[in-house]
């Protein structure tokens, strides 16, 4: 399915405005997921089982491997559903990606507009970047029209009144927008989740249970700091979310200088789109230590950030120098700087 939200009428032309719909979550599906969550929310990772750390999980694979080995659980991982006992998914990711507050739309088949000779004059030229004929080379199958937009179209031309013939559907649209790649790429997996669970008699394990067990007493050190730098700097949006998940589950006090450095340099860490409770707590703790103004571009490390941090937090001066050393080596992709002393 490829759909478009008709957002506006510009110069008497219908315009898709780049809001491409890859699918939608109905209220029935929301109900099914809520029932699934209630039935599985207490499940824990069990020994001598085979699990799949699915694309719907926020938990890093290497941490699962370490946890299994450290606790001698004899847990195997696989992807073939008929070989599995359990699927690992994230409640935070699913609810923030697919179960946000719904809205009402008329779902109108595309041909009702495209093939209507009376409405041809309102269509953009097929070669126009904003046309509503295709998205990513695929023909658009449906248009999603809100009641407000419906009335605007009818005022433009009463021939749009047929939109009322299509009942309003309350749903969540999954949009193919910047930063949503992970959400759209894994939408089919979410849609098929319920059928696959029933067909293969699978249990669901929510990754926050594993996260709570694995992160007790863990704090940020130089090795983890370097991994976090790599994740945040990655072009893959999902790596940033995994980095946030790791940061959210580390002890604050021993990790504080690393947190202060990261949150002052990387403005993208200031947002919590999944509404992770642990991350909200971390943001609250570190917010009072953010001294560099978050902008689209990172602050100058030498001229602005490092002097400010060392002045504000002299007790962490050497830790900041260690962070700076690791960061510089990461940026130049060579382990050139071996040590930096504050005095």
Averaged pLDDT in 10-residue chunks for the chain of 343 residues? 57 59 92 97 95 91 86 94 96 90 93 86 67 67 90 90 96 84 92 96 92 73 90 86 88 89 91 78 85 59 82 91 93 88 76
In whole angstroms, what separates CA 181 from the centre of its chain?
8
Q: Looking at residue 11, what is its pLDDT?
A: 47
Residues 6 or more apart in contact with residue 64 via CB below 8 angstroms? 53, 77, 88, 210
Q: Looking at residue 129, what is its pLDDT?
A: 53
Half-sphere exposure of 206 (CA within 13 A, CB side): 18
First to last CA, the chain: 63
Q: Looking at residue 176, what is its pLDDT?
A: 82
Q: Kindly list the domain boundaries of the chain, sorted by start residue.
A: 1-214, 218-332
Global pTM reads: 0.66
Distance CA(158)–CA(146), nearest Å, equals 16
């Amino acid at each position: 399915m490829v759909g478009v939200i008709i957002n506006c009428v510009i110069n008497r032309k219908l315009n898709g405005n780049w809001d491409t719909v890859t699918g939608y979550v109905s209220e029935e599906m929301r109900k099914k997921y809520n029932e699934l969550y209630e039935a599985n929310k207490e499940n824990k990772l069990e020994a001598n089982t085979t699990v799949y750390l699915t694309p719907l999980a926020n938990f890093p694979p290497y941490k699962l491997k370490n946890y299994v080995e450290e606790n001698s659980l004899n847990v195997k991982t696989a992807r073939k559903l008929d070989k599995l006992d359990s699927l690992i998914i994230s409640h935070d990711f699913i609810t923030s990606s697919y179960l946000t507050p719904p809205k009402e739309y008329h779902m109108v088949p595309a041909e009702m507009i495209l093939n209507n000779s009376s409405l041809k004059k309102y269509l953009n030229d097929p070669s126009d970047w904003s046309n509503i004929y295709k998205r990513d080379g695929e023909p658009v199958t449906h248009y999603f029209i809100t009641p407000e937009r419906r009335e605007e179209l009818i005022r433009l031309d009463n021939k749009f009144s047929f939109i009322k013939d299509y009942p309003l559907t309350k749903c969540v649209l999954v949009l193919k927008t910047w930063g949503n790649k992970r959400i759209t790429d894994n939408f089919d997996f979410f849609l098929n989740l319920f059928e696959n669970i029933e067909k293969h008699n699978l249990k669901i394990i929510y990754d926050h249970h594993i996260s709570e067990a694995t992160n007790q007493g863990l704090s940020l050190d130089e090795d983890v700091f370097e991994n976090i730098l790599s994740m945040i700097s990655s072009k893959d949006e999902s790596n940033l979310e995994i980095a946030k998940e790791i940061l959210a589950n580390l002890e604050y006090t021993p990790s504080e200088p690393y947190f202060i450095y990261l949150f002052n340099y990387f403005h993208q860490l200031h947002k919590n789109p999944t509404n992770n409770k642990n991350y909200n707590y971390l943001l609250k703790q570190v917010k009072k230590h953010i001294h560099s103004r978050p902008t689209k571009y990172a602050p100058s490390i030498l001229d602005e950030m490092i002097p400010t941090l060392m002045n504000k937090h002299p007790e962490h001066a050497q830790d900041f120098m260690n962070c700076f050393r690791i960061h510089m080596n990461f940026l130049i992709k060579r382990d050139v700087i071996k040590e930096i002393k504050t005095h």
